[in-house]
Amino acid sequence: MIHLRTILINILLQIRIVLALQDRDLLEKSGKGVMGAFGVMLEPLILIATLLFFRLALRLKGIDLVNPVIWMSIGVCLFKLFLDVGLKSLSGVKKSQDVFFYRRIRPLDTILASAMVATRIYGTVLTLIILLVWAFTWQVKFDNPGEAVVVVLFTVLLALGVGVSALVIGHRLPWFKLAVRFGLKRLLLWTSGVFYAVYLLPGPARPFVTWNPLIHSVELFRHSINIAYPVPGISLSYLSACALLTCGFSLLFYSLNEDLLISDD
């Protein structure tokens, strides 16, 4: 019983540490701009507005099953969430080195804190946009909110798995950071369904993008808004398997390299 109580106390302490790091990261992000906390949400809002403008200017084929503003916002927010959690870990742990003098704070804690901050930011942006669209159109449409919650959860787990692995690989192989910045990020952008719907692609072209689990999360979230939205080749099972396997592998990979991450930095 005493041993169990000690474990619970340690878990609660670790949760408090991650929450404190989250507040620290959020304050740091808010303090970088003159607009404070609102400025943190301004970047995704500007990106969404820009993409919608180009979509209108180029007269691209519309998506009539989901409001175009909500449709675009889902793609941008989930993609930016994945990038902020999954690939920004490549910067390593140097920026958080000042907190590692406290032996209970580990590199994994900083990644978890960053994931929580990114989830709060893009979750807030997406929620506000959906509410504003509903208020403007006087039409509330959300057929399967439970699916949306599950999709976001698996997206965060996938991003955490990729982020932890990228942290270790980027630490051991510096050239990997350049490959990600100049190659992988662009590949993910064009295969994540931010600009297009899978059902509008020709059948033979779909396997070239559906290998990316992120496009499954984007399209499934859109499907949760309107269950009539077709999602050929998209699977929640595939997304969940990729998220859980990636997360499990990354934790094992991290546990074997944790001391190296701190000692080298």
**pLDDT confidence of residue 16:** 77
- Please tell me the predicted confidence (pLDDT) of residue 261: 65
The DSSP string of 120-136 is HHHHHHHHHHHHHHHHH
Torsion sign, CA atoms 131, 133, 134, 135: positive
Question: Are residues 209 and 179 in contact, defined by beta-carbon separation less than 8 angstroms?
Answer: no
Each residue's pLDDT, cut to its tens digit, for the chain (265 residues) gives 556 666 676 667 777 777 777 767 766 666 565 555 566 667 777 777 777 776 665 555 556 788 888 998 899 899 988 988 877 766 655 555 555 556 666 777 778 888 888 888 889 889 999 999 999 988 888 999 999 999 999 999 999 888 888 877 777 777 776 777 666 777 888 888 888 889 988 888 899 999 999 999 999 999 999 999 999 989 999 999 999 999 988 888 887 776 666 655 4
Distance CA 38, CA 42 (A): 6
- Name, in order, each residue with C-beta under 8 angstroms of 116's C-beta and a sequence gap of 6 or more: 18, 19, 22
Q: Which positions ≥6 away from 136 have C-beta within 8 Å? A: none
State the pLDDT at residue 38: 62
pTM: 0.86
Query: Collapsing DSSP states into helix, strand and coil, what is residue 25?
Result: helix
Q: What is the pLDDT of residue 8?
A: 74
The CB-side HSE value for 257 (13 A sphere, CA atoms) comes to: 22
Q: Where are the alpha helices (DSSP H) in the chain?
A: 2-31, 37-57, 68-82, 107-137, 145-172, 175-179, 185-190, 207-210, 213-225, 236-255, 258-264
